[in-house]
Amino acid sequence: MDDSGQRPEDDEQSEYEPESGILRVFGRQLKRLREWAGMERTELGARTGYSPSTIASYEQGRHIPPPDFIDQADGVLGAHGVLIEMKEEVARAQYPAFFRDAARLEAKAVGLHVYATQAVPGLLQTQEYARAVFGMMRPPLDEGVLEQRVAGRLARQEIFVRRPTPLFSFVIDESVLLRPIGGRDVLRGQLEQILLIGQKKTVEIQVMPLSREENSGLAGPFTLIETKEGRRIAYVEVQNVSRLRTDRDSVRALENKYGVLRAQALTPRESLTYIEKVLEAT
């Protein structure tokens, strides 16, 4: 169960549900603390490095305040940690509703294993590639929401420098590496990033060739999340509807499938060599 007592595997949400109420709650608290301190938005902005209009957007719950602003505002307003306590929940509002629980688990994971069939996994995406992916969504995203999604996706990649660093493995369908999302230049930058991240000792990247006669992953992409308590949770998403699976039988089935996929794919060394060749030809 999650913190609300709801079973994660029963939680299905749509991309187009309203944003989390945490932004409105944070905004009201920020405004109340500012007024108690006898401070105008201009002064708070000057002391934190943000414009009065930006402060207003935070107070009205229209934009997501970055972590550094929350830290500064808490100190400037003498909030004694009231704002800082909401920082993690505020950060989760960067993500679409259907992904927030998975993002929380991902951020604290000790192991992440991803099978990708449609686009480069979010943890590996460049800013340009991520913007192109979100830009192709239909109905189209509002420009502000699009930039929010891009920022949230890039923020997830801080996990690569976290200590202790989780162990990562990715099995990526070959078609993903050939699909020029955003154009050839964007794809080249994306392939370069995959090669760069693939050099990390904690990361293994494998390519599933289109020429393989056997592919056990035809049912679609999924992610296996390993917690520090030793639990395995599976995350499955399709058409912006997601499900977190925690029951052991379902997770074990996907674990077995992932093991077979890794055996069917190119080895990590072969995969990086292949990606280099694709980059040269792009």
The answer to whether the CB of 71 falls within 8 A of the CB of 84 is yes
Over the stretch 158-182, which tens digit does the pLDDT of each residue have? Answer: 899 988 999 999 999 999 999 999 9
Specify whether the backbone of 78 is left (phi greater than 0), alpha (psi in -120 to 50) or beta: left
Contacts of 143 (CB under 8 A, 6+ apart): none
Residue 98 reports pLDDT greater than 70? no
Over the stretch 221-275, which tens digit does the pLDDT of each residue have? Answer: 999 999 999 999 999 988 877 889 999 999 999 999 999 999 999 999 999 999 9
CA atoms within 13 A on the CB side of 194: 32
Give the pLDDT band of residue 20 (cuts 50, 70, 90): low
Neighbours of 245 (CB within 10 A): 19
Over the stretch 44-95, which tens digit does the pLDDT of each residue have? Answer: 999 999 999 999 989 988 888 888 899 999 999 999 999 999 887 887 777 7
Least confident of 98-102, 115-119, 216-220, 226-230: 98-102
Q: What is the spatial distance between Cα 201 and Cα 127, in angstroms, rounded to a whole number?
A: 23
**Minimal CA–CA distance to 100: which of 17, 211, 184?**
17
